[in-house]
Structure 1
Amino acid sequence: MNQFSAVSPIPLNDLKRIYQDSSEPITEAVNAVLASGWWLNGDRAARFCADFARYVGVEHCVGVANGTDALEIAFRALLSVRKPKGRDIITVANAGGYSTIAARSVGLTPVYVDIEEASQLADIDSILRALSDETALVVVTHLYGGVVDVSTLREKMDQAGHQSVPILEDCAQAHGAELHGKRVGSLGDIATFSFYPTKNLGAFGDAGGIVTSDDELAQACNALRQYGWSDKYTIARPGGRNSRIDEIQAAILSVLLPHLGQANDRRVQILARYAEALPEGVRLVQSSHGSVGHLAILLADDRDELRRHLSERRIGTDIHYPILDCDQPGWADMPKREAAGGLPVSRRSIGRLLTIPCFPGMTEQEIERVSEGLSAWRR
Structure 2
Amino acid sequence: MTQYVWGYLPEYEKERTDILDAVDTVFRSGQLVLGRSVKAFEREFADHHGLAHCVGVDNGTNAIVLGLRALGVGPGDEVITVSNTAAPTVVAIDAVGAVPVFVDIDPETYLMNVDQVSAAITARTRCLLPVHLYGQCVDMAPLEALADRHGLVILEDCAQAHGAVHHGRIAGSMGRAAAFSFYPTKVLGAYGDGGATITDDPEVDARLRRLRFYGMEDRYYVVETPGHNSRLDEVQAEILRRKLTRLDGYLARRREIADRYAEAFAGTDVVTPVTAPGNTHVYYVYVVRHPRRDELLAGLKEHGIELNISYPWPVHEQSGFRHLGYRPEDLPVTSRVAKEIFSLPMYPSLSDAEQERVIETVRDVAGRL
Q: Does 1:16 align with 2:9?
A: yes
Q: Does 1:61 align with 2:54?
A: yes
Q: Does 1:220 align with 2:237?
A: no
CA distance in 1, matches of 2:71, 2:76: 12
Cα contact 2:3–2:307 (8 A) shared by 1? no
CA root-mean-square deviation: 1.9
Deviations 1:120-154 (A, max 9, x none): 10000112221122101010001111211212321
Alpha-carbon offset, residue 68 of structure 1: 0.3
Cα contact 1:301–1:352 (8 A) shared by 2? yes
Deviations 1:22-79 (A, max 9, x none): 1111111111211223211100000011000111121100000000011101111111
CA distance in 1, matches of 2:50, 2:308: 33
Superposed counterparts of 1:1-379, under 5 Å = 9=2, 11-79=4-72, 87-158=77-148, 161-162=149-150, 164-232=151-219, 233-238=221-226, 240-278=227-265, 280-288=268-276, 289-332=279-322, 334-335=323-324, 342-376=330-364, 377-378=366-367
Cα contact 1:173–1:200 (8 A) shared by 2? yes
Alpha-carbon offset, residue 361 of structure 1: 0.1
CA distance in 2, matches of 1:245, 1:259: 20
What SS does structure 2 have at the residue aligned with 1:235? coil
Alpha-carbon offset, residue 86 of structure 1: 6.2
Segments of structure 2 that go 5 or more residues without pairing to the other structure are none
| Letter of the 1:116 counterpart | D
Deviations 1:218-270 (A, max 9, x none): 111111000111244211123x0100011100011011101111111111211
Greater relative contact order (Cα < 8 A, sep 6+)? 1
TM-score, normalising length: structure 2: 0.94
Query: In percent, how many aligned pairs have the same letter?
Result: 38
Cα contact 1:189–1:212 (8 A) shared by 2? yes
| Letter of the 1:20 counterpart | E
Return 243-252 or 312-321, whichever deviates more: 312-321
Alpha-carbon offset, residue 191 of structure 1: 0.2
Alpha-carbon offset, residue 181 of structure 1: 1.7
CA distance in 2, matches of 1:231, 1:156: 37
Change (3 A) 1:107 1:337: farther
TM-score, normalising length: structure 1: 0.91
Cα contact 2:128–2:147 (8 A) shared by 1? no
CA distance in 1, matches of 2:240, 2:86: 24
Cα contact 2:7–2:348 (8 A) shared by 1? no
| Letter of the 1:70 counterpart | A
Segments of structure 1 that go 5 or more residues without pairing to the other structure are 1-7
CA distance in 2, matches of 1:182, 1:21: 31
Deviations 1:177-223 (A, max 9, x none): 01122210001110000000000000000100000001111111111
Alpha-carbon offset, residue 85 of structure 1: 10
What is the number of residues matched between the two proteins? 363
CA distance in 2, matches of 1:174, 1:115: 17
| Letter of the 1:325 counterpart | V
